[in-house]
Structure 1
């Protein structure tokens, strides 16, 4: 092998080493970006991608609730199960099984899905449905939602007996 072939062999070797180092650096950068992007994924966006799937939600004060995920809104989800429909306060969710591995970013949500928990409770009130309210402390309250404020619901538990329930205390509402 003459000197110019040796020089080209050395240069080819250096170029291959540089490409390998660049590839390793790029892989590490992509992994960092992936971790950083995933840090912005919310539980609600994972649930939004799980619409029409059978899921199991673990709720503080309630336990495990299973059913088909019908709707997701800002701070709440609607689950259709064997025991009726459940309006679930997402702040009470401690775990989810059966969710899609994907997520739907909030910018892609319909304007209707941006309605909060109060809107879902107002719909129950308009329907005059008898409901079972499950509280995060494990308590239960049966009645009809009458009016909904900014952060509470007015529930008629008996004729002429009304209780105010703070959204912060609410885990889920099960329609009867």
Structure 2
């Protein structure tokens, strides 16, 4: 019997076992670390990237992620328009980086605050709801959990003679608000 060969074989087996344990531990730590990463952090890492968003209405939008808040995204759509999308209306995202951003975080204001900016500017909008219906008009009032939309054609100004009606839309039903 050659003792050197036996000891070399035992040493190789021990080394292989240590490598397997180390690889298993690294994989376990990686899984635990990834389990703490929230979608918002991954979206923050994607600012400036082109994403494809599948919305709860069944529609898909494709565009560059420009900004995000605690519960909303701002996307530059392919048609060169910008849209605010509530995060709760996103059913899936294609194109996200695997890693999260630690340096950039979301803006601290919520969807209502972003919509108040559109209301203040009296911007004409096309609002898509969860049923897929598109309402056009001007956001008159933004409450704590809903908005009032004065309905009119996009090309018309918000004047009494141009109004077709008024809709109150709860935030949970808003899928996309496209500024026209």
TM-score, reference length from structure 1: 0.83
Q: Hey, which of these two has a bigger chunk of helix by percent?
A: 1
* Aligned residues of 1:62 and 1:171 also touching (Cα < 8 A): no
Question: Does residue 101 in structure 1 map to residue 98 in structure 2?
Answer: yes
Q: 3-state SS of the aligned residue for 1:119? A: helix
Instruction: Provide the alpha-carbon RMSD of the alignment.
Output: 2.3
- Match runs of 1:87-126 below 5 Å: 87-105=84-102, 108-110=103-105, 113-126=107-120
- Structure 2 residues not aligned, in runs of 5+: 153-159
Q: In structure 1, what is the Cα distance between the partners aligned to 2:129 and 2:148?
A: 14
* Aligned residues of 1:135 and 1:170 also touching (Cα < 8 A): yes
Q: Find 1:165's aligned residue among 134, 158, 169.
A: 169
* Aligned residues of 2:130 and 2:174 also touching (Cα < 8 A): yes
Deviations 1:139-168 (A, max 9, x none): 221121222222112222254743221111
- Match runs of 1:1-176 below 5 Å: 6=3, 10-61=6-57, 63-81=59-77, 82=79, 84-105=81-102, 108-110=103-105, 113-157=107-151, 159=160, 161-176=165-180
C-alpha deviation, 1:70, in angstroms = 0.3
C-alpha deviation, 1:11, in angstroms = 4.7
State which drifts further: 124-133 or 20-29: 20-29
Give the aligned length: 169
Q: In structure 1, what is the Cα distance between the partners aligned to 2:81 and 2:135?
A: 16
Q: In structure 2, what is the Cα distance between the partners aligned to 1:57 and 1:12?
A: 56
Q: In structure 1, what is the Cα distance between the partners aligned to 2:142 and 2:58?
A: 22
